[in-house]
Amino acid sequence: MTDSHPSVAVIATATTQLERETTRSLEEMIFDTTRAALAGACLTIDDIDAVVVSGNDETDGRVISIMAASGPSGGVGRDLTMTASSGDHALVYGWMRVLAGQSRRVLVVGWSKPSEGVDPDHAELVEAEPYLLRNVGMNHTAAAALQASLLQDAPTGDGPVVAWPLTHGDLPVRGDTVHALVLAAEGSFEPGIEQAWLLDCGWATGAYELGQRDLADFAPLRASLDQMAARGIAPEPGAWDAAEIGADSEPSVRAVADLLGLPSRAVVNASGSLADVITAPHVQGLTRMVSAIGRIAEGAASVAGGIGFHGFAGQGATVAVFAAQKGAHA
Amino acid sequence: MNHVGIAGFGQTKAVTTRSDVTFPELVREGVDLALAAANMTMDQVDAVVYPLAPDALIGVNNGERWVVDAIGATGKPFMRVNNGGATGMSAVLTAWTHIASGLFDVVLVAGADRVSESGSAQSVLNKMWDVGYERTVPLNTITMLAMSAQRYMQLYDSDEVDMALVSEKNRYHASLNPYAHLQSSITVAEVLASRTLAWPIKLGDACPSSTGAAGVVMVSERYAKEHGVEVAWVRGLGQNSETLFMGDRVGPKHVGDHADADALAVAFERAYRQAGIVDPFAQIDVAEVYAPFSSVELHVVEAAGFAPKGGAPQALREGKFRLGATEGPVVNPSGGTQCTNPIAVTGTIRVGEAANQVLGRAGAIQVDGARVAVASAIGGDHQFYSTMVLSTDLEEI
């Protein structure tokens, strides 16, 4: 990046989070949330240059879920792209579009509605390749337990063990979730309406084979942080006031917080524990990023990091750094 | 804005089945071929954009995660794009953004698909429609586009021979392309005599279900100049989207006519505006357009501005769009999607073939003197459109 690239702000967010949406279809949830985000920025869809969306076909029960989402997310007649690897990648791609000068205002919409699927557990199971992992019943809970078993930190959650050593209280709750955000280049919005500046993002994906990586090492997260450190644009975690971490279990959240080397003042997961915040694996990272934006918007933090993971035991990681001031350089 | 170029394109020979490789191994073949074409190794790649359309075609949810180890992308920025059939090209556009943002200098787009090995591709594709209405019709990609073909015939007084002329041209082109899936030529009479799939689309009008891999390596202008890399320059790009519902494309209150590809025309116009193209027929030498059925190519070349609406059949009869044509662009010299369709990377192949043309690397299907090329892709239910203009140099087009 150079000085010729614009600063990027988040000028509106809207969220729908329900344990189980019983009255609205996925399309209606996307439409309502998108409309709320646009209203929050005092914009209409005509003010938007491009739409970046993210969903998971199997969870949504649609072979190409961008098709059904294109209308309610405002994509018809527009440049529309789905980043299917993770909800947080939609935020990253929207940010890059503004940096590139390709768009001035981008709508980012990520969703997951596991309650609509007949069997969300089966949708997770078919994330496993068919030769070995699927036959052993791999899913996010089992992978999280394998990871937690390697961490020094003992689980502290309440309730019976779900997958040793993890209890219900250690694991994320699953629910119906839609997030919509408006990203905008400096100069394309009224100064002062921004909720936070998006300073930098790092993202990386590690080995798929669980035996090929040290699950306690969080290598994709380290690689993501290294990318940002090399650019030197955003403050490193040691200068953050808050971190919102969407890991696969509470022991992993604590391990990630330790790895980051946050200052003692930093508050971790102020929005709630994994068991408190309704979300779904595909958008868990985006959920935490929206929470980090919220910390900035409410004045509770000057710099906040949002961290998400995707895939079994955090195969991929994304870090986004938000700040109250666009000049919050490292 | 940073200029971006395509340094290399690689593809496997498309076939019906590949029982000798797993899916990650097939993807790896595409990666290796793309890197070899760019004379690079994976170590030089800063980031990867992975094209994968319906997971259901390979039977693994988020199948992109499965291939990371095999392609050597561990630890790199990696994201997947899924815009249905347009995925392979939307991923290239996403990679362009990676570089234009200033974050990266070298980005790889590579993937694979094994459509015929999914059990029933059309059954899978039926599940992309609305649960309550269109899925139960039952729509699939053939019946959907048969309705479009019927509407085109009605609106423009066209017939099945017009479609067969497209097939005859593309199959002749593919017979010269060593990577094409369908490599045998076909006559107009043979197309007309072939089995009807969904009238008026017949077997001779249809694409195969292909297994294959492909990839392109994209680089920044800075990287290309510092390392002396010859590239096909990206001069313009565009995307646009159409309404999901077939019912919104017919009738007195339609928002788009199913005979035409108006939303695609907008995507072309966006790319042309950036590239400075005002007369596509005169300024473009080669077009690699996404048309899985012969009927689709008719309205795609019209959307591209190579013929007026309803005018593509007459242009074909005049010998236009064919290798050796004396005026206007050659359309799908590779044989196009009609002859090779590994869905996830079909759009990547369109861009790669266009890049090879302006770089003079197209071998037996090279269009003499090709300097400016356009590529396009279509996804969803003829719903998502991507376009890109490429040229040999950065001079005015």
Quote the pLDDT of residue B383.
Answer: 94
Residues 217-276 of A with CB under 8 A from B: 219-220, 223, 227, 231
B21 exposed, middle or buried (CB, 10 Å; 0-12, 13-18, 19+)?
Answer: middle
Q: Are strands B232-241 and B4-11 parallel, antiparallel or unpaired?
A: antiparallel
Q: Does B129 lie at the interface with A, CB-CB under 8 angstroms?
A: yes
Residue A36 identity (one-letter amino acid):
A
Tokens 């509605």 label which residue? A113
Of the candidates B338, B3, B378, B371, the one whose C-alpha atom is nearest the C-alpha of residue B183 is B338
Identify which of A63, A99, A212 has the shortest CB distance to residue B127: A63
C-alpha distance from residue B310 to each of B150, B300, B302, B307, B327 (Å): 13, 11, 8, 8, 19
Interface list for B 357-396 with A (CB within 8 A): 379-381, 383-384
Token pair recorded at residue A159: 């309730």
Query: CA end-to-end span of chain B, whole Å?
Result: 18
Decide if A93 and B60 are in contact by the 8 Å CB cutoff. no
Q: List every span in chain A annotated with CATH 3.40.47.10.
A: 8-116+175-185, 198-323
Measure in Å the smallest separation between the Cα of A40 and chain B Cα atoms.
25
CA-based nearest distance B382→chain A, Å? 10
Q: How far is Cα A286 from Cα B90, in angstroms, rounded to an integer?
A: 22
Mutate to test the interface with A, among B4, B87, B103 (most CBs of A within 10 A): B103
Number of H helices, E strands in chain B: 13, 12
Average of pLDDT values for A139-155?
88
Tens-place pLDDT, residues A66-106: 998 999 999 999 999 999 999 999 999 999 999 999 999 99
Does the pLDDT of residue B120 top 80, yes or no?
Answer: yes
Q: Which token pair is B249?
A: 């494309």
Tokens of A308: 């998400």
Q: Which is nearest to B56 in space by CA: B11, B114, B111, B5?
A: B114
Cα gap A275→A253, rounded to integer Å: 12
Confidence at residue B253, expressed as pLDDT on a 0 to 100 scale: 74
* Rounded average pLDDT over B195-203: 98
Q: How many CA atoms lie within 13 A of B196 on its CB side?
A: 6
**A55 and chain B in contact, CB less than 8 A:** no
Contact A312, A143 (CB under 8 A): yes
Is some CB atom of chain A closer than 8 A to the CB atom of B82?
yes
- Which residue does chain B place closest to A219, by CA atoms? B75
pLDDT of residue A157: 64
User: In the 8-state DSSP scheme, what is residue B326?
Assistant: S
Q: Could you tell me which chain B residue has the CA closest to the CA of A94? A: B97
- Protein fold of A198-323: Peroxisomal Thiolase; Chain A, domain 1 (3.40.47)
Contact A82 B83 (CB under 8 A): yes
Residue A186 is encoded by which pair of tokens?
């400096």
Question: If pLDDT is split at 50, 70 and 90, which confidence band does A122 have?
Answer: confident
As a whole number, the mean pLDDT across chain B is 96
In this predicted structure, which of A318-327, B40-49, B225-234, B241-250 has the lowest mean pLDDT? B241-250
CA distance A231 to chain B (A): 9
Phi first, then psi, for residue A11 (nearest 5°) are -105, -5
pLDDT digits 0-9 by tens, B126-135: 988 887 788 8
**Measured distance CA(B132)–CA(B136) in Å, rounded:** 7
Positive or negative torsion for Cα A255, A260, A261, A263: negative
Mean pLDDT is lowest, of A153-167, A184-198, B48-62, B372-386, for: A153-167
Cα–Cα distance between B116 and B156 in angstroms, integer? 34
Nearest CA-CA distance, residue A1 and chain B, Å: 4
Q: Do A79 and B238 touch (CB under 8 A)?
A: yes
- For chain B, say whether A2 makes contact (Cβ under 8 Å): yes
Looking only at the bridges linking them, the beta strands covering B196-198 and B201-202 are antiparallel
**CA A288 from centre of chain:** 6
Over pLDDT 70: what percentage of chain B? 100
The confidence score (pLDDT) of residue A254 equals: 96
Q: Which three-class secondary structure state does DSSP give residue A202?
A: strand
Answer whether B210's CB lies under 8 Å from B18's CB.
no
Task: Judge: A66–B76 Cβ closer than 8 Å, yes or no.
Answer: no
| Residue B337, token pair as written in the block | 């999607």
What pLDDT does residue A330 have? 45
Residue B206 has pLDDT above 80, yes or no: yes
Q: A126, B60: Cβ pair inside 8 Å?
A: yes
Shortest CB distance from B61 goes to which of A100, A126, A227? Answer: A126
**Closest chain B residue to A27, measured at CA:** B130
Among B52, B78, B100, the residue with its CB nearest the CB of A205 is: B78
Measured between alpha carbons, how far is B389 from B375 in angstroms, rounded to an integer? 7
| Tokens (6 digits) for B166 | 């497209």
Q: Least CB-CB distance to B78: which of A61, A80, A204? A: A204
Q: What three-state secondary structure class fits B201?
A: strand
Contacts B94 to A, Cβ<8 Å: 81, 83, 93
Work out whether the CA dihedral B195, B198, B200, B205 comes out positive or negative: negative
Q: Which residues of A touch B52 (CB under 8 A)?
A: 84
Pairwise CB contact (< 8 Å): A64 & B379:
yes
Question: What is the pLDDT at residue A155?
Answer: 61
Q: Does B263 touch chain A (CB under 8 A)?
A: yes
- Which pLDDT score is estimated for B1? 62
Residue B343 sits at the chain A interface (C-beta within 8 Å): no
Report ipTM for this prediction. 0.97
Name every chain A residue with its beta carbon within 8 A of the beta carbon of B79.
83, 85-86, 89, 92-93, 203
Q: What is the mean pLDDT of chain A?
A: 94
**What is the nearest CA distance from B74 to chain A, expressed in angstroms?**
4
Adjacent-strand bridge partners of B379: B384
B4-114+209-220 is classed CATH 3.40.47.10? yes
Q: Are B217 and B48 in contact (CB under 8 A)?
A: no
Task: Give me the pLDDT at residue A1, please.
Answer: 57
Mean pLDDT lowest among A57-71, B187-201, B335-349: A57-71
More confident call, A120 vs B42: B42
Fold of A8-116+175-185: Peroxisomal Thiolase; Chain A, domain 1 (3.40.47)
Q: Do A204 and B66 touch (CB under 8 A)?
A: no
